Structure 1
Amino acid sequence: MVDETETWAGQRATGRLPRDERSSSDAALARDDKSPDRTRQRHWHGRRRDGARADNGGGGSPRNNDPCYAALDLGTNNCRLLVARPTASGFRVIDAFSRIVRLGEGLICSGKLGDAAMTRAVDALAVCAAKIGARNIADSRLIATEACRSATNGADFINRVAEQTGLKLEIVDRETEARLAAAGCTPLVDPYSDGAVLFDIGGGSTEVVWLDRVETRDGGPPAAIIRAWVSVPLGVVTVAERHGGVKVTRADFEAMVNEFSPHLDGFVKAVGPHDCGRLHLLGTSGTVTTIAGVHLDLPRYDRSQVDGTWLGAEQVRVVVDRLLDMPFSERAANPCIGIERADLVLAGCAILEAVRRAFPCDRLRVADRGLREGILVELMRADGVWRRHAGVTT
């Protein structure tokens, strides 16, 4: 397989703010985040861990025709949509959709999207189109990632989607994918650490980002500062198809880890000398949310209990060992895994293990958020919605 890993290192912020909304030095502000003053306001968006909704910023219930924003992510495995309205300091999700479509099924062997996979994806996108069409959308961004990027018929599929659903999808590059994941997860970076190693394990690719955060002056969520990133053309679908996902021995698991690990070498060098005790891992994917759900022994998956959860290194190891010892039938019956992901979860765990060996941090924070939330933050920030709430003037 051709190594298409992409790595970048430097010092620039993603989602750059207008000059009046940032200090003269984003890096200086990022360092200020480590100050001992713990009375500083914490920004948050989405659903609180206690299940409560965010304040709507204006009091009372928003009208059904109030402007809202839409974010769609068509990946190698999932088709996911969020529709949200801005709040005083974040946003409130008012509609969502998620369906496993396995668009990248067989892609690693054929180099193209299969007919059945494309039909499944179009069917799911038609549902998304109906949901978007039912709302007063102020702005939207609809993206497709690794499967459409790498397939020889990816552009043809995008045209088919437009013809059959009316949705105009944008195939984004890996840098954009990494940036959007960072924008969506930045609120979960511990501001008193030296940053986080964010990883987004997708179906066909995995992005790993050395991430910091900077508080903004517009009243919205903190902005992301990317120090380095790598995009690896391996995800849960591609790894599982290469090594198997139904019956996975510990030797199979190590083979998966060993295939992925070399792709991180350039990224580790880009990060340079670091103290893993001052960093933490931040994971956004079905793999880490599954691990959190299994660790918590949830009777059914509950985002409000998973998003933002902290896990210790030993807790992660125990869950991975537990999953390795489970037969396929038990994985499929687990309410936090299910039949649709039972053959993919160990491939994801192997990718996670490769990241953990490269960055043996003591703590992992789990994010049930990512690309779609990043899209929403960028759209809303570009429209100045939080500046208007905060009464900020240029």
Structure 2
Amino acid sequence: MSKRVAVMDLGTNTFHLLIADGSVDNYQEIVHLHEAVKLGEGGINKGYIAPEAYQRGIDTMQQFANEINTSGAIEARAIATSALRNASNGSDFISDVKAQTGIAIEIINGEQEAGFIYQGVKISGCLSAQNSLIIDIGGGSVEFILGNIDGIIWKQSFEIGAARLMDLFHRTDPIPPASIEALNQYLDEKLVDLFAAVKNIQIDTLIGSSGAFETFAEMIEVEKGHNFDLKTTKNYNFDEDELLMLIGKFVASSHKERAANKGIIPVRVDMIVAASLITRFIMHKLGISKVSMCSNSLKEGVLAEMLGE
């Protein structure tokens, strides 16, 4: 039986709205919006949502409510992650959204977030019988999921998202070598649980879930003179040398150079540096040379649950 549903993924940088109908194996996107709310701007590591970001969030939720009402969706879920999970005024935001739009926001923990990301990646057909390490680099948190087509072996969420790392280490542009070293050392300390989980496990592929990995793929293809459409590209396999060369370029670039680049969406112009450094760190630390991009993430995982009910 086919039904029309709406999913809102309220991330630290971007709020997404996905309205779709059909079945888990065969659904059609009716509406797919993403708004650069930058909820973490000005307060991410201080544990609150700054007034301007708060208002952008409210305005976007009103826009989403209008879209949902006109689309005829029979069910809607709004899922909030790191920024709202950790903000001292997160509950005020949730109350205001409920009062102004009727949308009830669910805050999920990092484990649930990682579980939804796995389901989203799984329905895209990106997984195989061999073990993959899925990485989802958000603004507030980064999820790692070790698993394969048969299920999850291990999963965990870490509060080391690109907005947090930018706030801590990327204060000067281009990012200085000393800051890169400090960031790598920080990741070494924060990701002890990940290293322990993968210690004796053979990882075939690092799968980057949407976000920065979409930018990496688009930039590589566009630079070759190829057309690249994310709507039709559910997954993409990187050439290791091309990816590392692009990451090196991003890390060495200035804000002005990145902002002038049409392949980088505005919300990602600065975050792409921290996301690049996380990606390179994981590849080198775990010795992974096969990397792919999957355009599905948390919202598709939630959608799969809703359409499967």
Query: TM-score when scaled to structure 1?
Result: 0.73
Q: Deviations over 1:334-369 (max 9, x none)?
A: 122144321111011112123223322221110122
Asked whether the equivalents of residues 3 and 307 of structure 2 are also in contact (C-alpha less than 8 Å), the reply is no
Matched, 1:318 2:254: no
Q: Which runs of 5+ in 1 are unaligned?
A: 1-56, 58-65, 215-224, 383-394
Tell me the residue number matched to 1:218.
Answer: none
Matched, 1:291 2:216: yes
Q: Deviations over 1:268-301 (max 9, x none)?
A: 212331224xx10110132111111111126886
* Cα distance in 2, alignment partners of residues 87 and 110 from structure 1: 42
Percent pairwise identity? 27
Q: What is the CA RMSD across the aligned residues, in angstroms?
A: 2.1
* Cα distance in 2, alignment partners of residues 261 and 93 from structure 1: 39
* Cα distance in 2, alignment partners of residues 98 and 339 from structure 1: 12
Q: Deviations over 1:130-174 (max 9, x none)?
A: 111112223322111101111111111100111122211111111
Q: Deviations over 1:40-91 (max 9, x none)?
A: xxxxxxxxxxxxxxxxx9xxxxxxxx73011101011100010001148321
Equivalent runs, 1:318-357 vs 2, <5 Å: 318-357=245-284
Asked whether the equivalents of residues 114 and 144 of structure 2 are also in contact (C-alpha less than 8 Å), the reply is yes
Tell me the residue number matched to 1:69.
Answer: 5
Shift of 1:306: 4.7
Query: Which residue of 82, 99, 106 corresponds with 2:18?
Result: 82
Asked whether the equivalents of residues 331 and 338 of structure 1 are also in contact (C-alpha less than 8 Å), the reply is no
Query: Which residue of 223, 235, 240 corresponds with 2:166?
Result: 240
Asked whether the equivalents of residues 189 and 195 of structure 1 are also in contact (C-alpha less than 8 Å), the reply is no
Shift of 1:304: 3.9
Asked whether the equivalents of residues 121 and 127 of structure 2 are also in contact (C-alpha less than 8 Å), the reply is no
SS at match of 2:49: coil
* Cα distance in 1, alignment partners of residues 177 and 237 from structure 2: 26
Change (3 A) 1:157 1:88: closer
SS at match of 2:268: coil
Asked whether the equivalents of residues 188 and 365 of structure 1 are also in contact (C-alpha less than 8 Å), the reply is no
- How many pairs align? 305
Query: Which residue of 133, 136, 140 corresponds with 2:76?
Result: 140
Query: TM-score when scaled to structure 2?
Result: 0.92
Instruction: Name whichever structure is richer in helix by fraction.
Output: 2
Tell me the residue number matched to 2:91.
Answer: 155
Tell me the residue number matched to 2:113.
Answer: 177
SS at match of 1:101: coil
Runs of 4+ in 1 over 6 A off after TM superposition: none
Matched, 1:189 2:114: no
Bigger CA radius of gyration: 1
* Cα distance in 2, alignment partners of residues 287 and 257 from structure 1: 18
Q: What is the identity, as a one-letter code, of the residue corresponding to 1:273?
A: N
